[in-house]
Amino acid sequence: MSESPIPVVMCFSGLDPTGGAGIQADIETLASMGGHAAPIITALTVQDTRSARRFEAIDPMLLIEQARGVLEDMPVAAFKLGMLGSVEVIEAIHSILADYPDIPLVLDPVLAAGGGGDLADDPIINAMKTLLMPQTTVLTPNSEEARRLAPEADSLAACGQELLDLGPEYVLITGGHEPGPHIDNMLYANHRQLETFSWDRLPHSYHGSGCTLASGIAGLLAQGLDPFAAIHEAQEFTWHALQQGFRPGMGQHIPNRLFWARGDEE
């Protein structure tokens, strides 16, 4: 049997019953990027397109069994981390990642649901910073998450520098929560601001944009792109998915990550 040409990305993320964010966002994005998701559930959530109301983290030993079973069976080309759910889950993931230091890792530090609802407390944030960020290739906080992760920083630029000091090779702070007609996503690496990516602001509020972006970066890293190229191309994919998003419920819009399959030109 020939080896699969489709790169595998192991995704650790929560289950969102709306299908807008979490593990479904990872699966759809990676399929669109020509990759294959190996999904490992970190938490179950109670949420709709308006807010998250409750979540329960998965048993960490079950998570370890799932992940190691897949890792022993197929070559994983990248890791993607989203909502993590508990300190114990973070410790379990850290124990797995420690055995694969050369595999690229994209960390989307999910601290709150898009429509509202806290998904991480201070112990989770501290565990993320000490156990996961030192092995992270690309960290993708939005501006609100960046401020929570670097509370002593007096600007977003200072947040970027402080987060780099925690170990990630690249930090991409997305600007969707900031005012203005454009969204400026700021990329930091090598102790400096490397690039600002500016995108036209779309008219709606979206559920799952961060998951889409992070899994897109992971999928492109898995295909062998360098981080800068992966970060740029994943933003372009995410913007088009948001542009053609839809509103299935009474809250936020959801990215249409399969927009390319419609077969017509917009």
Q: In order along the chain (266 residues), what is the average pLDDT of each group of 10 residues?
A: 80 96 97 97 93 92 98 98 97 98 97 72 95 98 96 95 98 91 95 95 92 98 98 97 94 92 60
Does a structural domain hold residue 188?
A: no
Does a structural domain hold residue 128?
A: yes
Q: What is the pLDDT of residue 179?
A: 84
Does a structural domain hold residue 94?
A: yes
Does a structural domain hold residue 1?
A: no
Extract the tokens encoding 80.
Answer: 């993607």
Structural domains counted in the chain? 1
Whether 104 contacts 73, CB under 8 Å: no
Q: What is the pLDDT of residue 176?
A: 85
Q: What is the pLDDT of residue 116?
A: 59
Domain carrying residue 209: 8-173+204-258
Whether 90 contacts 154, CB under 8 Å: no
Extract the tokens encoding 258.
Answer: 């399969």
Query: CA 40 to CA 85: how far, in whole Å?
Result: 13
Stated length of the chain: 266
Extract the tokens encoding 171.
Answer: 């930090």
Does a structural domain hold residue 184?
A: no
Q: What is the pLDDT of residue 118?
A: 75
Q: Is 198 helix (H, G, I), strand (E, B) or coil?
A: strand
Q: Which helix (H) or strand (E) holds 15?
A: strand 8-15
Query: CA 211 to CA 235: how far, in whole Å?
Result: 11
Residues facing residue 45 across a β-bridge: 55
Does a structural domain hold residue 52?
A: yes
Query: CA 152 to CA 145: how far, in whole Å?
Result: 13
Q: What is the pLDDT of residue 119?
A: 80
- Residue 46 is part of a domain; what is its CATH number? 3.40.1190.20
Q: What is the pLDDT of residue 46?
A: 94
Query: CA 45 to CA 110: how far, in whole Å?
Result: 13
CA 231, chain centre distance (Å): 12
pTM for this structure?
Answer: 0.94
CA 225, chain centre distance (Å): 17
Does a structural domain hold residue 263?
A: no
Does a structural domain hold residue 20?
A: yes
